[in-house]
Amino acid sequence: MKRKLIVLLTLVMALACPKAMQAEEVTVTILTDNYTDVSKSLVETMQRNLGRLLSEINMSDSQNKAQLNLANSNIPESVMSPDAKGMLNALWDNIHFSCDDAEVVDKLWPMKDGFMLRQIPLIINPQGETFGHGNYQEATVDFDKNGRIVDFQFVFDSQLSESMERCGSAVDMERKLKILKFCDKFATYYNTKRLDKLQEIFSDDALIITGNVTQVYHPEAGAMKPKVTYKKQTKTEYLSNLRRTFARNKYIDVKFSEIGEGGGCGPVTVSANNPNMYGVRLHQAWRSSNYSDDGYVFLLWEFRGEDDYILHVRTWQPEYLDRAKTQPLPQEEVFSLSDFDL
């Protein structure tokens, strides 16, 4: 009789709280095909740490917790660094999410100071409204040399790292992966409304250019035709406008995807004049509570140290010249490194 009562209570709880009953523990399998010089015990540590964190995220989401339980008693600093906890909490403050896969399988990317995973599957669970780009999202996770999680953020395009695998030396590859990581951070700062981080990431003399479609009369055609005109902003002007945008919108969802230059090694190119300067040419989809657009973004990054970087140029151009989206911006007009090479 007692056993039947337990089963009945379990069924009642499942019907009353179906989401809570679905909160599964997550196991992680890391593939090391591209990097064999890593110990089995270190891989197991990374798998265990990430599995523990994803399971906690699932539990917090199932219980609709306002905050993740990342206290040392639950997720100790041996599992996740304080900085990584801060970034994850900032993401959680903006939007809740969970890992829908009971087993996550991902490829390990070696870095000079640790390791990276770039395809952790997540499901966005918006609180009472539809989120910008739909509910599927991937995350990137960084580990230090001891297997501790030192960064967790949304990734803008998981295929970019694979598309560059054939390009250049191991050193070139690591730098390009870091540039993609910088872009992940850049998008995440918009999504979490971290104006303080954007303040840090732009150089004081940053060049910020925004394109806008206007109608211009063409005498030879005897008609008005669309033309992109450009406005320059200083760092102070841009961040001031962005502050107002953040205040007006409940959520912001920025996604980058790849557009390359001539079919080379993805969107990342290195300056011919300065090996520490990298250009990134991307498609940006911006979705927010009261505004959306699609266009092209060009970013000019400078390495000042292996993990110290700054953004000198950010441009935005519309993808189309008309509201009906029948006249795309010609690709030869999309900004690239050759327009700003220093």
H-helix or E-strand containing 287?
strand 277-288
Whether the pLDDT of residue 183 is over 50: the answer is yes
- Lowest-confidence segment of 79-88, 217-226, 246-255, 310-319 by average pLDDT: 217-226
Which alpha helices (DSSP H) does the chain contain, by range? 2-16, 18-21, 40-62, 82-94, 159-163, 170-191, 195-201, 235-248
pLDDT at 264: 47
Per-residue pLDDT, averaged over 38-62, amounts to 95
CB 307 within 8 A of CB 300: no
The pTM of the full predicted model, rounded to 2 decimals, is 0.70
- Strands 202-218 and 308-318, by their bridges, are parallel
Per-residue pLDDT, averaged over 112-118, amounts to 87
CA distances from 19 to 9, 16, 58, 312 (A): 16, 9, 10, 45
CA distances from 234 to 194, 209, 256, 282, 312 (A): 18, 9, 23, 22, 11
Neighbouring residues of 328: CB distance < 8 A, sequence distance ≥ 6: 319, 320, 321
With left for phi above 0 and alpha for psi between -120 and 50, is residue 192 left, alpha or beta? alpha
The shares of helix, strand and coil residues in the chain, as percent rounded to the nearest 5, are: 30, 35, 35
Give the relative orientation of helices 82-94 and 170-191 as an angle to the nearest 10 degrees. 50
- Strands 103-107 and 27-31, by their bridges, are parallel
pLDDT, tens only, 90-114: 888 878 899 989 999 998 988 878 9
CB 256 within 8 A of CB 281: no
pLDDT at 313: 96
pLDDT, tens only, 139-181: 889 999 999 999 998 876 544 555 455 455 445 677 777 888 8
Question: What is d(CA 59, CA 125) in angstroms, rounded to the nearest whole number?
Answer: 13
